[in-house]
Amino acid sequence: MFWQRPPFTVTFATSVWERDWRQILLDPDYLKVRQIDNHCFPFAEKLLVINNVKCLDAVKKAALEKVSEGVLTRIVVAEEICAEMLSFFQLARDDFRADAESAQYAAVSHDWVFYNALGPLSAIYTATSDYVLYLTGDVWLDKRVDWIPKALRRMARFPQYKVANLTWNERYKEARKESYKREWNFFVARAGFSDQMFLVRKDDFCRPIYNEIRLDSVHYPRGDVWEKRVFSYMKNQGWERITYRHGSYIHK
């Protein structure tokens, strides 16, 4: 009985924008295999958020082809739900601002910080499952990793574990260093969050919790980014993060 899949549904979600939609939607294997199938999990739905693109019709056409192929379940256009969603989360566009140090990063602006938040927020807001697995468009798995059921069981057993993810770029020593203990298949950390990949319970994160910014969140660059807000709330609440130590995602 212990090894049966947990009775939770999970939404897979990612987002596209102008610079990556062709890679994600026109490559026959990128989304289907490297982003979805390699997680070895029967997702209840597979959601695509269309973010800031120049030609919405072209992107929607490519995305709907993925729906007809069964690669995706449905699509969401972030701009169409933006006002409603920001009101729900008690946020405003002006909350997402680049800082004085952002000039050292190419193309970072207030708009960049805003759209960077719009993808994951739209996924969390519109997902219909118990949990949401979100990947940014430039994240993929080179190998199959059967990790989600293990993470769901751990999160169900320990309510303080609110975020799960794979190790990043095979940096297992770095993930271990950032944790305070190792247990079962995971490193456990008292702080830390990345929008590159996160598995969260929808009910925990689909709430107006993103208005807290701690002084010790300054290690997140580029201004008042969404990651900084999640980090701050998690730390204020004593929420913890688990990182799977037998598998990695790739982010470039």
Task: Report how far residue 188's alpha carbon sits from residue 155's, in angstroms, rounded to the nearest whole number.
Answer: 11
Per-residue pLDDT of the chain (252 residues; tens, 9 = 90+): 345 667 899 999 999 999 999 999 999 999 999 999 999 999 999 999 999 999 999 999 999 999 999 999 999 999 999 999 999 999 999 999 887 666 556 677 889 899 999 999 999 999 999 999 999 999 999 999 999 999 999 999 999 999 999 999 999 999 999 999 999 899 999 999 999 999 999 999 999 999 999 999 998 988 999 999 999 999 999 999 999 999 999 998
Residue 9, token pair as written in the block: 């549904």
Domain CATH number, residue 95 = 3.90.550
Q: Which domain holds residue 241?
A: 10-251
Which residues are CB-neighbours of 242 under 8 A, at least 6 positions away?
151, 154, 155, 161, 163, 164, 165, 186, 187, 188, 189
In a domain, 44, yes or no: yes
Q: Which 8-state DSSP code applies to residue 100?
A: G
Query: How many domains are there within the chain?
Result: 1
**End-to-end Cα, the chain, rounded Å:** 39
Instruction: Return phi, psi of residue 156, to 5°.
Output: -70, -35
- CA contacts within 13 A on the Cβ side of 191: 14
What are the start-end ranges of the E strands in the chain? 10-16, 45-50, 74-77, 131-135, 139-140, 161-168, 181-183, 186-189, 197-201, 240-251
Q: Which residue has the tokens 């993060």?
A: 241
In a domain, 15, yes or no: yes
In contact, 150 and 139? CB cutoff 8 Å:
no
Task: Report how far residue 176's alpha carbon sits from residue 67's, in angstroms, rounded to the nearest whole number.
Answer: 39
Task: Report how far residue 16's alpha carbon sits from residue 25's, in angstroms, rounded to the nearest whole number.
Answer: 9
CA distances from 16 to 31, 52, 154, 183, 247 (A): 11, 8, 30, 35, 25
Q: Indicate the helix (H) or strand (E) that contains 158.
A: none
In a domain, 164, yes or no: yes
Amino acid 99: pLDDT: 76
In contact, 217 and 231? CB cutoff 8 Å:
yes
In a domain, 3, yes or no: no
In a domain, 202, yes or no: yes
In a domain, 139, yes or no: yes
Q: Which residue has the tokens 């929607």?
A: 60
Is the entire prediction scored with pTM above 0.85? yes
In a domain, 1, yes or no: no
Amino acid 34: pLDDT: 98
- CA contacts within 13 A on the Cβ side of 75: 23
Task: Report how far residue 59's alpha carbon sits from residue 63's, in angstroms, rounded to the nearest whole number.
Answer: 6
Task: Report how far residue 182's alpha carbon sits from residue 106's, in angstroms, rounded to the nearest whole number.
Answer: 37
